[in-house]
Structures are given as structure tokens and as C-alpha cells.
Structure 1
Amino acid sequence: MSISATTARPTVVTAAFWLWIASAAIGLIGFAVSFPSVVAATQSLSGPMAGGAMVGSVAGAIIGAAIRVVFAIFLLRGANWARIVLTVLGAIIVLSLLVSIITGNVLAILELLAVVAAVVLQWLSSAKPFFRRA
């Protein structure tokens, strides 16, 4: 879905886009900070399983951030389906961050705030006309 010629992109959509980008960056930084814990946890595994677990963790963090960025780009272009997918993804992210938030992880709290703010902004009434079909 592309933007119609008469519907300009609302500021709230642009802000939601940048919050999704920020949440992806914060998520990657949080993973990098916690990487020594990942390494320690995988040391109990033997042989190829340890290497596979580390590679899987790194790949998961990178792919998770890339997914947010790609869907955020579609959001910025006015794709309503991307807004829905990002909302579901946001709920999953919030649930996955709950333990980190309870322990007082500052990066997790920042990531949570960015995700929640992005979801709220992309559903404000001022954003609705931007996502309507032409």
C-alpha cells in the first residue's frame, strides 16, 4: 500500500518509525552487553551444540532487529499490514522483556518504552487516514 497523493505522512507515523528503529538498536546493544552471559550459558553444552547455541543467539538478535527495521520501513510507507504486524511483534517483545524489566535492566526498560510508544503512536487517530486505502 502506498501513500495517496493527498495524504501526507503524519508526524506520529514518522515518530513511530524512529522509535521502532531505536528499539532495534537498543535490543542489539542489550544483546551485546549480555553476550558474556550467553557465552557462559553455552559453556555447559558440549561440542557443536555450544557453537550452535552461540551462533543461534547472535543470528536471532540480528534477525530480530532486522525484522523490526524492515516492517518499520513498510509502516513509514503506509502499509496497514505492517502496523498490525508491528503491534503483534511489540506485544511479543514486551512479554519477552518482562523478566529483564523486573530485574531492573535499564536497556530493557528503554526498549520497552520505545516499543510501547511506537505502537501507541502508530494507532493514534491522526495516523489512521495515512493507512486507509486510496
Structure 2
Amino acid sequence: MPVQVRVAAYIELGLAALGFILLAFNLLSTDWNAYIADSVGPYEHNGAQLEVTPEGAVATAVVGLVLVSAGVLLNAVFAVGLLRGANWARIWITVLFGLSVIAQFVSARDPVSVVTGLLELVAVILLWLPPSNQFFRSVKQDRAIHRSRRLV
């Protein structure tokens, strides 16, 4: 395995660990009563009057936590996939990086998201360098040879 793929996988594992730590910190440090109190109430959107209930505010928070947890878990799964030579993991990391770049244009940028975005960029670049391409091709060929030798 080339060092480029190994470093990219470790970056992905590190980002997953960082995501888990940040998720835990946010869960423990958020004043949930204040969150609900600030979120509940009437809002106007495009001329329509909307009412956010306490249940709606809690549901929104839960959905957000589930999505963040899924992202952290996917980062770890993709990192393990890279270490096993799975080209699909490389492709998905690249696609999700592209989507995160697009998302940066519509959301506020904080220092943590900028640093994690730069680390992700480094990982994506490393995954598409010639030694990485050769590694993923050789793994694919080795697996095809192995499958062809199996007894049916």
C-alpha cells in the first residue's frame, strides 16, 4: 500500500475521531432548555405564518444529531475501506468532499470547518495521485484473479 493511501486513510480516521469528539462536546455543552425556548414560536416565511412547537424543535435537533453521527460513521467506514484497497471508498470520499465544498458556499465558515475541509482536500489529492491509482488498480486485478480461481 502506498504511503499516500495510508496517510489519506489516517486523515479520514482522524476526521471521524474529531467529528465524534465535537459531537460529544456539543451534546454535553448545549443548554437544551435554552435551545428549545429559543426555537419555539411563530415565524413568517414567504408570507406564511409558521409555528414551531417544542416537539418540532426536539425533532429537528434529533435529526441533526443523527445526520452528524451518520457522517462520522461513514468517515470511519470509508477510511477502513481505503485501508482494504476499496476503490468505492475513494470515489465516495471524493464525491462527499465535492458536496461539502458546495455546502461551504451556503453556510457559515468557522475555523474548524476550514481546517477539516483543508485536511479533506489533502486526503482527496493523495487518493488520486499516480501511486494511489496504481494501488487501487492492482487490488482490483488481484481480486479478479482470486475470483477466477475459486471453485464454483
Deviation, 1:29, is 4.7
Are residues 12 and 112 of structure 1, via their aligned partners in 2, closer, same or farther at CA, if it must alter by over 3 Å? Answer: same
1:1-134 pair list within 5 angstroms = 9-30=1-22, 32-33=25-26, 36=30, 40=35, 43-44=39-40, 45-98=52-105, 99-101=107-109, 105-132=110-137, 133-134=140-141
Identical-pair percentage: 29
CA distance in 2, matches of 1:27, 1:100: 18
- Identify unmatched segments of 5+ residues in structure 1: 1-8
Deviation, 1:33, is 4.8
How many residue pairs end up in the alignment? Answer: 123
Whether the 8 Å contact between 1:26 and 1:110 is mirrored in structure 2 is: no
* Structure number with larger C-alpha Rg: 2
Cα-to-partner distance string for 1:45-89 (whole Å, 9 max, x where unaligned): 313211111111111111111011101211111111111111001
Scaled by the length of structure 1, the TM-score of the pair is 0.77
CA distance in 2, matches of 1:123, 1:67: 20
- Identify unmatched segments of 5+ residues in structure 2: 41-51, 142-152
Q: Indicate the structure with greater strand content.
A: 2
CA RMSD of aligned residues (A): 2.5
CA distance in 2, matches of 1:26, 1:96: 19
